[in-house]
Amino acid sequence: MRGPQPRVVTNLEHLNAEQSDIDDDVPMPELQHNLRLIVDLVEADIQTIHKKMKQEKETTVLLEKERVRLQKEVDRQKNQIGTLELLTTTLVDIQQKIASGVMQLDSVAAAFSSLQDDYAEEYKLHNLSAVALSFGLPLMVKVFSGWEPLLQPHHGTDILVVWKQLLQGDDPIDYSVFPDANSYSDSPYVQLIMEAVFPSLRFAAVNTWEPRDPEPMLRFLETWENLLPKSVLHSILEHLVMPKLSLAVDQWDPRQETVPIHAWLHPWLPLLGQRMEPLYHPIRFKLESALRAWHASDTSAYALLSPWQTVFDSSSWEMLLVKSIVPKLMAALQELVINPRAQQLEPFRWVMAWGNAVPIHHMVTLLETGFFVKWRQVLYNWLCSTPDFEEVTRWYLGWKSLFTPELLANERIRWYLQNALEMMDQAVEGMPVVQPGAKENISYLRITERRQFENQQQATAAAGAYSQEHAPLSASVGRDNGNTEMSLKEVVEMFAEQNDVQFLPKVGRLHEGFQVYGFGSVSICMDNAQQRLYAQSGDRWVPVSLEQLLDMNRIPSKRWK
């Protein structure tokens, strides 16, 4: 198709010529060209106008939407202005009625409660709680004027329940329309408590409250538990209660006062908790001073100390007992006379009364040193005199019943009781009864008779290995067939025997719960659990090796005890 009419071309050379002939046949080509230009221009103008009309319609729609939005904003602003005018009028009216005495505290609370319900958003937005505080505070001060909080703890609580709801809300907004009412950094309710309630409480706490009678203050705090903000409660405990308790502890004398200190201090533990830690050191010091003249027969000491077992930390509690109680219990056991014919059990019961308070390892050491030595010796003497074995059995069971379950579960206590049974079995079967304690008292002589030279060489090698770099004292020395492990005590005994040094226990002497022994002129003790050997140097106990211990014994000095 190359023209208005279809045609068949047989010779391509005349293709363009023929087309030109056809074009030359169109009448008035210039006119047609101009008409086409005019049509194109008009068409462009029509399209432009159409676009403008479309844009105008869209603009009209947008402007209508904006008009509606602005109208709504105008209406909202009018409503806000109306609300603010109403609030202002209401607040002015309340202020005038308060000034004229027509409105009292309950009426003011009711008016602001109505505003809070009807205009909740505006109440928070414009910090009306601060305005309520400024109106109600003078009236609230009058309510609590002359108030004795420790005698009348419920006074005014019903009023404050309402005012707490009015004043304790969200934090104030900075752009409040009542800037004068927004000058406090604390919440309005805290301001109300601090200015209306706290002064009377502070006066009562400082001038009338006696710390040895905690109930009035505790009753007040319990009554006001849900009304006092945390910051105010902290201030009361920190600035009113603790100074009074501290002063009372400083003035407390356990030797003169009949009311135990825990009766008026422990009720504060739920509220004060760890804040009471600074009071514990002077309490322990005074208890130690008071117990210097104490005798184990005085049961009041247990009543005085036992409530503190769960209050003091375990190390402080143990130190207090080791210093003040354990030596007195040891003295009581030393006073105990074991006589199956006329037994006086009171001293032993004095000691057992402390079974739940004194740490188990100290109780075991007490009984090992102060009781079982005498008890087994009496049993031995009795068994050697052809006794009534039924009576011996009753005697044994009677003593066993005096031990606490915790002590009966202890391995060392079970060993002593089992050893007593073995002695009884030997006597019943007609066998020679082995005297108790003989091995402990002359162990180094018996070891000499029993051990051979090769075993001694092995013990020396073990001791030499320890003396290098203070390694833990342990020795695997064969007994008889070389398969039994030696204890630390036996290693020291053998070492003392090899060096011709006397090694005996010092009856009644303990250090941190460990039996004290005499290695020649040096006092020593052994920690079997840690495999450590300690020697007394002046007022200190220092870890030593066996070679160092031998050197200390050879040096004639007053330092070694």
Which of 82, 117, 136 terminates a domain? The answer is 82
Nearest to residue 212, comparing CAs of 179, 257, 151? 257
Residues 52 and 167 in one domain: no
Residues 220 and 147 in one domain: yes
The reply to whether 180 falls in a domain is: yes
How many CB atoms lie under 10 A from the CB of residue 390?
8
Length of the chain: 561
Residues 62 and 126 in one domain: no
Q: How far apart are CA 218 and CA 211, in angstroms?
A: 11
The reply to whether 75 falls in a domain is: yes
Residues 225 and 145 in one domain: yes
Which of 236, 251, 266 terminates a domain? The answer is 251
Which of 206, 227, 251 terminates a domain? The answer is 251
Residues 76 and 168 in one domain: no
Question: What are 505's strand-pairing partners?
Answer: 517
The reply to whether 128 falls in a domain is: yes
User: Quick one: how far is CA 348 from the chain centroid?
Assistant: 38
Share of the chain above pLDDT 90, in %: 42
**C-alpha dihedral sign at 285, 290, 291, 293:** positive
At 270 the pLDDT is 94
Report helix, strand or coil for 485.
coil
Residues 40 and 118 in one domain: no
Local confidence band at 123 (pLDDT 50, 70, 90 cut-offs) = confident
Q: How far apart are CA 127 and CA 182, in angstroms?
A: 7
Local confidence band at 230 (pLDDT 50, 70, 90 cut-offs) = very high
Phi then psi dihedrals of residue 507, to 5 deg: -60, 130
Whole-number average pLDDT of the chain: 82
Residues 75 and 203 in one domain: no
Report helix, strand or coil for 214.
coil
The reply to whether 233 falls in a domain is: yes
Q: How far apart are CA 146 and CA 203, in angstroms?
A: 11
Residues 190 and 240 in one domain: yes
Higher pLDDT, 266 or 181: 266
Q: Domain limits at 23?
A: 12-82
Local confidence band at 473 (pLDDT 50, 70, 90 cut-offs) = very low
Rounded mean pLDDT of 322-342? 90
Residues 133 and 48 in one domain: no
Contacts 24+ apart (CB under 8 A), 408-416: 410/360, 410/364, 412/364, 412/368, 413/364, 413/367, 416/367, 416/368, 416/372, 416/376
The reply to whether 92 falls in a domain is: no
The reply to whether 359 falls in a domain is: no
Terminal CA-CA length for the chain: 135
How many domains, the chain?
Answer: 2
Residues 111 and 233 in one domain: yes
Nearest to residue 111, comparing CAs of 127, 125, 97, 101? 97
The reply to whether 28 falls in a domain is: yes
How many CB atoms lie under 10 A from the CB of residue 167?
23
Residues 150 and 108 in one domain: yes
pLDDT tens digits along 351-398: 999 999 999 999 999 999 889 989 998 998 888 887 788 898 999 999
- For 27-56, b where at least 16 C-beta lie within 10 A, e where not — what string? eeeeeeeeeeeeeeeeeeeeeeeeeeeeee
Q: In the 8-state DSSP scheme, what is residue 359?
A: -
Report helix, strand or coil for 150.
coil
Residues 78 and 118 in one domain: no
The reply to whether 363 falls in a domain is: no
Q: How far apart are CA 361 and CA 314, in angstroms?
A: 14
